[in-house]
Amino acid sequence: MRSALSLAMSTLITLSGTAAFMPAAAATMPSTPAVATSDITFKASDGVVIYGKYYRAASPRALILLFHQAGSSKDEYKTIAPRLAAAGYSALAIDQRSGGELFGPNQTVQALGHSANYLDAKPDLEAALSFAKKQKLPIILWGSSYSASLTVVVASEHVNEISAIAVFSPGEYFDESPSMIRSAAAKVTVPFFVTSSKDASEIDAARAILAASPTKLKVQYVPTAGVHGSSTLIASRDPQGAEDNWKAILGFLGQLHF
């Protein structure tokens, strides 16, 4: 793949069929217009009630399911989801049962009375996918840290139901199976975007996972300034890199054909 994506003011480098972006200096992040939102709930397969927030684009091209990192909640996406909606993508951010109050209250954890293990949250992602299918839009899965890894697993099991995946700081986080994510990635045939912080070990972990996928469109974005998980898109947490990182993910989404 000679040119998976083309980003303004960026240099595209192809590495064994995987595109890596080395962005230019960050620009000022623009303001995002208000979008319509609604609070929703639905049940996972085991009966656990999952809380979420739905951000509705005016004329959505697709629906992006947003899954948070460890110790976090749907509020990890309170600045990210509106920008996605403004770009034409409706978004659903959920509170997984493995989480906390890093960005705001996790209502699913509050209702359970405790945070569960990472793998225990897999039914929550699957329940979000079931909800999304009823919306009759192309579906994109998006994960952050541990949920980035779970996103790859869910994608591998539902590849015919989704249009693409985007994962931020995935890794082999599950001791039960140290190669689980690479094995799952080998079954992912939809367009696949992966990024990480600028930490070398995160970059290598992302590269190994992406390399296992046989998909024709796979992009590894290597930031010059980036932080762990989806926080790499939050200006207050990544002031030097957020806008370039936004260019990378929006550029990838713009290459998708539904």
Q: What is the CATH number of the domain that holds 37?
A: 3.40.50.1820
Q: Answer yes or no: is 90 within a domain.
A: yes
Q: Tens digit of pLDDT for each residue in 183-241?
A: 999 999 999 999 999 999 999 999 999 999 999 999 999 999 999 999 999 999 999 99
Host domain of residue 27: 10-254
Q: Answer yes or no: is 5 within a domain.
A: no
Q: Tens digit of pLDDT for each residue in 83-92?
A: 999 999 999 9
* Reported confidence tier of residue 31, pLDDT bands at 50, 70, 90: low
Q: Answer yes or no: is 4 within a domain.
A: no
* pLDDT at residue 177, as a whole number: 80
Q: Tens digit of pLDDT for each residue in 46-71?
A: 999 999 999 999 999 999 999 999 99
pTM for the complete prediction? 0.89
Task: Please count the structural domains in the chain.
Answer: 1
CA diameter of the chain: 50
Q: Answer yes or no: is 152 within a domain.
A: yes
In the structure encoding, which two tokens stand for residue 204, read together?
């290598």
Helices (H), the chain: 80-86, 107-112, 122-133, 146-157, 180-185, 200-211, 242-254
- The arithmetic mean of pLDDT across residues 16-27, rounded, is 41
Q: Answer yes or no: is 241 within a domain.
A: yes
Rounded-to-integer distance, Cα 141 and Cα 127, Å: 12
In the structure encoding, which two tokens stand for residue 194, read together?
């992966």
Q: Answer yes or no: is 103 within a domain.
A: yes
Q: Answer yes or no: is 206 within a domain.
A: yes
**Among 64-68, 98-102, 121-125, 174-178, the least confident range:** 174-178
* Reported confidence tier of residue 33, pLDDT bands at 50, 70, 90: low
* pLDDT at residue 35, as a whole number: 81
Single-letter residue type at 91: A
Position 13 pLDDT exceeds 60:
no
Position 27 pLDDT exceeds 60:
no
Q: Answer yes or no: is 140 within a domain.
A: yes
Q: What is the DSSP letter of 28?
A: P
* pLDDT at residue 176, as a whole number: 75
